[in-house]
Structure 1
Amino acid sequence: MATVRGDVKDLSLAGVGKQRIQWAERDMPVLRAIRERFEAEQPLKGKRMSACLHVTAETANLARTLKAGGADLLLCASNPLSTQDDVAASLVQDYGIPTYAIKGEDENSYYRHITAALRHAPHVTMDDGADLVSAMIFIVLDRMDDVHAEVRKWAETLKPDERKSLVANVAASMEETTTGVIRLRAMEKDGVLKLPVIAVNDAQTKHFFDNRYGTGQSTIDGVIRATDTLIAGRRAVVCGYGWCGKGVASRARGMGANVIVTEIDPIRALEAAMDGFLVMPIAEAAKVGDLFITVTGNIHVIRAEHFAVMRDGAMICNSGHFNVELALDDLAEISVSQKKGVREFVDEYVLKNGNRLYVLGEGRVINLAAAHGHPASVMDMSFAAQALATEWSVKHKGKLEHKVHQVPKQVDEFVAKLKLETMGISIDTLTAEQDKYLRSWEMGT
């Protein structure tokens, strides 16, 4: 195989990575069926794609599917701690996919890799968190002060028409995360979103399952791998009761934790209460919790005043996409000492009163920082929706408004039906009489 460009930790890890990719594929039958069709039909032929995603074994199978469909794909990491180095090595060596991702990469490397994705001049982009699209928009708007220095060095060499072509040539961008969709809708509201975006995160086959069951299981997995602690009997505080929060709270309770939920939304707070969880403000929960998990997608959910009243030995982590939910600068400021790496993925902070607080995974997304992310079976649906939404956006290039679009209903339903088939589950269909009844209005009681 010809040498493929990229930047990974160690190509000698490829053998282990390939095994992991192939193991994940066994539990991704929907995506496998799509890959077989893509290989035959080549719906993405001649299209350059740049994907800024968590580089995991499951993502690798999405990448293989896109390449099978004819895409000229380049992959970079969407989080400095979420890369599986052996998978990245295999993508380059075994599958010929340029990959720029190293677990633990510093900020400059992270943005140098995003620059590689931009230089690829994509016709379609994919994001976990909207960092790639945000960089494109800042460049097109000539807001160079808002662009990281590594990106700016390259962007400043471009002529004005070359900057505009960064988005003008893009059929659409796929966004996989709640955090990213929030950012993109804010761009749309401010009138700066210069390309169509498909909110793959909002597909029912994504957030009902990936966010709830995937995040729920993998977050608890990350906590246990990082700490080797018993969940049963602990007071677990889950900040946020969206789909991810629902999953985390449910899984923590299932392992015997006494779960407390904090929320700002009265509807979600009411739902959490009626689901049987204690609900209280974070200021109160901070005094009694043993384990804190943020899943809000917002900034500084746990701050200095909350850290200051936490119990000795409290463990704190984040399962939102960006490392902004924990105000770690606040924690550092009120601590008398910090000790990095008391255990892999665990940092100790000692407060003035002697209480020790433990931050897991540097406050980054814990299920990928300390564990392997979502199980393949749930990512099968999310990535199937990604692949099909990509195909749909290419077919509709030039016809989509510059706004955030929902995944077409037919894509969602196709993924769900195929998933049921692979699980050996059959469902009912409407009779002719039932179908007529649902489409009419004349018949009453």
Structure 2
Amino acid sequence: MSIYTPNQKSIAESIQPDSGMQDWKNWHWQLRRTIKDIKTFEEVLGISFTPEERRQLEMTAEKFPIAITPYYASLIDRENWRDDPVFRQAFPSVNELITENWEMSDPLSEDIDSPAECITHRYPDRVLFHVSNMCAMYCRHCTRKRKVGDRDFIPDRDTLEKGLAYIRKTPEVRDVLISGGDPLMLTDSAIEWILDELSAIEHVEVIRIGTRMPVVLPYRVTEELAELLGSYPNLWLNTHFNHPREITDSSAAALRRLTSAGVPLGNQSVLLAGVNDCPYIMKKLVQKLVSNRVRPYYLYQCDLSEGLSHFRTPVGKGIEIIEALRGHTSGFAVPVYVIDAPGGGGKIPVSPNYVVSWSTNKVILRNYEGVICSYKEPDSYEPVFCDRNCETCSLVLNVTGEENPAAIGIERLMADYDDKITLVPEDTERLRRRNDDG
């Protein structure tokens, strides 16, 4: 029989004295009782701030609102709440009011790369589909603080149709990531409508949902929702666990509902100072994830969004963590450490250097232990010339019928069929001199 944890019981009774476990596990009940102000937070957690702290926190909350589910608040260690990783992710800090010169409201240039409402199209074959800007909880490290919590910008069906229309008319889009806010803030029927519309587009091969519900409100993942999501054979779901303490019995049950319904799961963590910037913590996290059938996907360097300087670590910390994972735990438990490049450059992988050196016929490598070895390359490799005309290709991997767009970027420089030998940034001093001379 399900019973409250001591923290859950205390919080539930402070919010609604006659509440029971059935109420606590009702996601609608949780949302209706979301903690949205400092006074309520103090009452519910049984803690208190000094008058000066309260004044500064109120200033922060005016700019970046508060929203904490009772469930997630119950994970906070009341004995050491100031240093608690859950508290730091959920509750405002006066440091959020510090905006460094290099910080931006839209560091990833998602708005600039938006060819239609609700759409960000950055990579060649996939788009981001923003279907809700509301979340069950407002994470303090959110890269989309400019949107989350803005109640004046909740896409209606007509607005979402404009995004769908763009996807329909853009045949190179084979992968759609449904994001927000949190898509699972929508009703089951609204989610089903979006998934049906995307599934009806012939060139959409993969649908992904990005959500933090299993972390901050696992009761949203009902049997009905899991069954709905599992009915789409090309659907993947990525969640966002940052610390092993977030993987509770309730969150594990939510993950189990999804995997039992046939939904493949991944996880995207953000590297956060004072939360998970520790090799031991990250190892525990990825191991607990894979034990719950969740594949660690990305470890993000914290973005250059406004007010996040106190969360950012040096890039070297992320490389140290990957160094402590690779070879020290299962390979499929090691996420890819990426920096989402400011200005819309996309995700750039960063990792320890395992190639020590190389020559014309050998590559010198080192492993996680520091063992250095040589790998002999073939002396007589004769590559097959590729003209990118797959329909006439004689190889056994012939992919007749597939359309192959022209190569771009580094891929173009490496291609056999293209005579491009350099990629030159626009408006360099050298080019300006050429234009002036001409």
Q: What TM-score comes out, normalization by structure 1 length? A: 0.27
- Answer with 1 or 2: which has the greater Rg: 2
For CA contacts below 8 A with separation 6 or more, give which structure has more relative contact order.
1
**Structure having the larger proportion of residues in helix:** 1
Q: What TM-score comes out, normalization by structure 2 length? A: 0.28
